[in-house]
Every structure is written in structure tokens, then in C-alpha cells.
Amino acid sequence: MNRTEIRAHFDRAVEKDVVHLTRAALTKTEIANLLTTARMNLTQVAPHNRRYPWVAYNALYDACRQATDALLGAYGHKAIGAGAHEHAFRGGEAIFHALGSSEAESLLADVRTVVRQRRHEIHYEGTTNIDSDDLEFAQHVAERVVPLLTEETLATLGLGPEQIGVE
């Protein structure tokens, strides 16, 4: 499947309301900023933050979200509305499904189903009951998701903003 076919497959998923996204082409700078912030959030699992694992857990979740937002932005889309995080990860899964990358697709599914649920408990229920296994799993996923969605990888896939006419 070439880049045009992948893009068409993804756009059809959006049109069918499989994911709630809107056309919102991000600039190259905006995409780069998202990826930079994602990489910075990966560092929030430093030893001093292990005393407060829920802080590190949130940072790891945010790193995955920012990297996925950058991927969507490279396709000229942005997640919108209530549950935008959920839509972003579903959109990312749709892209990787079109690319035939089942491993990457399953990584984003892990973020969407497992990591997101625990992050929801932290954020909305005020729980601080995040143990070392939770943190280890989130770190494992985030450390694989974020490098997967670097500027270089996006460009290799032909998805960088310079390839789709975004300035």
C-alpha cells in the first residue's frame, strides 16, 4: 500500500465516523513541538518521581498522547470533542492498521484500553494507588510508542508535513 492508498484508507475511516477527527493540518513546527514535549514527558519517570508514581504515570500517558497527536497532525487531522484522547488513539490505530503494522496498532490499543483506564482513575477519581507494575507497564508502552512516532519515522513513512504540503 503506498502513501496515497494509506491516506485514502484512513480518510475513509474518518468519514465513516469510526474516529471523530477534524481537518486541522498542523504546521511542521507544531508537530515538532508535540514530539519534543512527548520526549520530555518520557523523562518524568526519573528516580525522584518514583516516590509519586501517579505523576510519572500521567507523564507517560501524556507522552503517548502527544506523539499520537503528532501522527494525526501529519495526516492533517486533529482529534476533537469529548473523549478526544480516545479518538486520537483510535485514529492512530486506524493509521497503523492501514500501514499493516499490527505491533504498533496493538501498542496504541494498550494505551487506549489499559493505560488510559488507570490514568482516568488518577485524574478523575483522585487515586494515588498506582503501583510499580502499573508504572512499569506504562513506561514499557510509552518508551515504544514515542520513538515510533518521531519526525524521522513520520518522514520515512512519507507522512511528514513537508510531504503533505503543510508549511
Number of domains in the chain: 1
147 to each of 1, 6, 77, 152, 166, how far by Cα in Å? 23, 21, 20, 9, 22
Q: Does 86 fall in a domain?
A: yes
Q: What share of the chain is helix, strand, coil (3-state, %, to 5)?
A: 75, 5, 20
pTM: 0.81
Range of the domain at 20: 3-161
Residues contacting residue 133 through CB under 8 Å, at least 6 positions apart: none
- 166, part of any domain: no
Give the list of residues 6+ apart from residue 130 with CB closer than 8 angstroms, or none. Answer: 53, 54, 57, 118, 122
Who has greater pLDDT, 125 or 17? 125
| CATH code, 126 | 1.20.120
Mean pLDDT of the chain: 79
What is the average per-residue pLDDT within 14-27? 70
3-class secondary-structure state, position 24: coil
pLDDT given at position 109: 92
Q: Give a yes or no: residue 149 inside a domain.
A: yes
